[in-house]
Amino acid sequence: QKEVEQDPGPLSVPEGAIVSLNCTYSNSAFQYFMWYRQYSRKGPELLMYTYSSGNKEDGRFTAQVDKSSKYISLFIRDSQPSDSATYLCAMTGGYQKVTFGTGTKLQVIP
């Protein structure tokens, strides 16, 4: 079983839709969970990070963590064409290396 699994997509939605991106993980040592956005041929850009189970909201973005199920999600409300990118989930035990998912490619169609 892979440490981090993420559906690669691509995911295509109309502008204004709610987007749900998900990852599962197997390593119980992971305690910190991040979502990165990556535009084509660019470096990952940190969107959100969270430590605990539950929801964390930042503008149109909500990160959700369920440690009991080893499942994390990122919701994007009122999606915009500028949200079109690849979204990477990532996790770490804290001071160890960050382990990334394969990324989900999102396209928001005007």
Partner 1 sequence: EPEVTQTPSHQVTQMGQEVILRCVPISNHLYFYWYRQILGQKVEFLVSFYNNEISEKSEIFDDQFSVERPDGSNFTLKIRSTKLEDSAMYFCASRNQQDRQEKLFFGSGTQLSVL
Q: How far apart are CA 17 and CA 81, in angstroms?
A: 11
As measured in angstroms, the least distance from the Cβ of 88 to partner 1 is: 7
Stretch that binds partner 1, among 21-29, 62-70, 75-83, 91-99 (CB under 8 A): 91-99
Residue from 46, 57, 77, 109 touching partner 1 (CB under 8 A): that is 46
Residue from 41, 59, 68, 110 touching partner 1 (CB under 8 A): that is 41
As measured in angstroms, the least distance from the Cβ of 102 to partner 1 is: 4
As measured in angstroms, the least distance from the Cβ of 47 to partner 1 is: 11
Q: How far apart are CA 63 and CA 7, in angstroms?
A: 17
Task: Check binding of 42 to partner 1 (CB under 8 A).
Answer: yes
Q: How far apart are CA 10 and CA 19, in angstroms?
A: 12
Burial class (CB in 10 A: 0-12, 13-18, 19+), 73: middle
Task: Check binding of 103 to partner 1 (CB under 8 A).
Answer: yes
Q: Which residues bind partner 1 (CB under 8 A)?
A: 32-34, 36, 41-46, 49, 51, 88, 90, 92, 94-103
